[in-house]
Structure 1
Amino acid sequence: MVAHFIRSGWARFENETTSVTLLPGQVVFRDTTKPWRFWFGPATRSRTVVVPRDQLVRHAVVPGKLPQIVVTDTGLAEVRLLTGFLDLARRFADDALSPLGRSVSQDVGIQLLAAAMGAARTAEAGEHTNVVLAAARRFVDEHLADPNLAPALIAQELHISLRSLHRAFEDTDDSVMVYVRRQRLRRARVELLTPGARVAGVAARWRFSDTSHFIRHFKAAYGSTPTAFIEKESRRRRQDLSRA
């Protein structure tokens, strides 16, 4: 497999079934076991990386799934990670690393190339699901105040399908939006302990559609209404102060 990172000018690759033209900021990955015709425009500057095809298949790509050609943008995170790794690797002389170090760095480079191509071998189903679930929960926890927080947004930001997102939650007690609501209720419960907190304001801040909706879910989760919870906590604080 050969990767061409186009820095200036243009390049064109053709075979019997495919024709692509590359411009600055693009990269093409092509399988050289297939015959290609190619042209580079005047003053074209590019970076070329060659990876043994058998190494790529052995370590990173599902056999039989290696694409003939892939064109993508060098601004994508996976491609930027690959180019960053290549830049770092060039700083080391051939004898700077131990045999183990060279082997590990080669494997990392191959894995990054496969990811940049979008052809990386997927993890085992359970492992992949756990990774997706953890990432989704982290994203939700960091964006609870976002009024647009919904499965479609979460899937988009994690670069996964809606199906993958919902499947990750299947073995938990929550659906995606039940988890969102539960986390918002936890944040709201903490805020209700703030002196002067108003139920309506807290409900609105944590994106409940109306106060009655918030009260109903709060009571189901914690066994009392928000007002009763505030009063109970206030009494407890007064008692603690009187004992002190």
Structure 2
Amino acid sequence: MAIVTIDTSGVGEPDRLDFWRSTVCDQFVDLDVTPTAGRLVDGRISAADIGGTHIRRIASGPHTFTRTSRQVRAADEDYLQIALARRGRTLIVQDGREAVIRPGEFVLYDSSRPFTFATTDDFEYSVCLHPKRSLGLTETEIAAVTAIRFDGRRGVGAMVPPMLSALHRTVDEGMTPATVEALERTVGDLFGVLVRSHVPARSPAGVHLDRARAFLREHLADRELNPAAVAHGCAISVSYLHRLFAEAGTSVGATIREERLLRCRADLVRPELAHVAVGAIGARWGLPDPARFSRAFRARFGCSPSGYRAQATGQLSSVRRSAGSMSGDGSVT
């Protein structure tokens, strides 16, 4: 999609705070958004998506942003995120650590656990939200690098500022699916490099688990995909495969089902697939029985596939209309 810019200056004072809070939650993750008391909210967000990766810029006055345990439990997607400071000084708290970042510095943080951002002056961040499920990293590895200050001007951190700036310029409605997938992989590789710069390389078991997850993601459309096929594709035994997933707190079957449902959910709101029937969306990701697909989707996301498509399409249209009405200078493209 194209870059959408949302600015609170076009909203009247009585409604501005509620509009700002809902916009921040819509464009990032569900948060408690608390501006400094006594100041009129003056905020701006630009947003673009590259597949399941979200690229954001946000600027405003002093704030505290808090992700609570309740909000974590209610989430249906987990992201590993980069927040690069472009203006202001910010304290970040997560996983028992604290970090302070200034312009040119950044942190990694995880939406699946509580965190806090607090700034005492005007701020601006570039933020990248990338689905954790595609990274092949364990929860232990991710938790080891959250709320640690990275310098965006030297070392591996120097790759981040130009990458985030380039992604903002690259977003184009005309990108092919292959281009989108390649960009998503590149972003995921960047996250992996950052984590590996602080966490030792994976054990052999971790490598096998990564390979198995990668194999099943590549073959989700195969209706015959099962543990035996995954084990054969990774040259390991079925029993060892089951043990790897059990040690990671899940199972092969549950992972296949989850990945298929997430792919279906993403396709249901892709504009270029708006003409494709809901049942066909399920079939293209290895869920050919429409009734079973609908039941599984409802159990996972709380609504039917058709209901989700209608709701998500309506919300996107509403955001675009609201953003367009506030940006007469052509800032919405």
User: What is the TM-score with the length of structure 2 in the denominator?
Assistant: 0.34
From the CA coordinates, give the structure whose radius of gyration is larger: 1
User: What is the TM-score with the length of structure 1 in the denominator?
Assistant: 0.46
**Structure with the higher fraction of residues in strand conformation:** 2
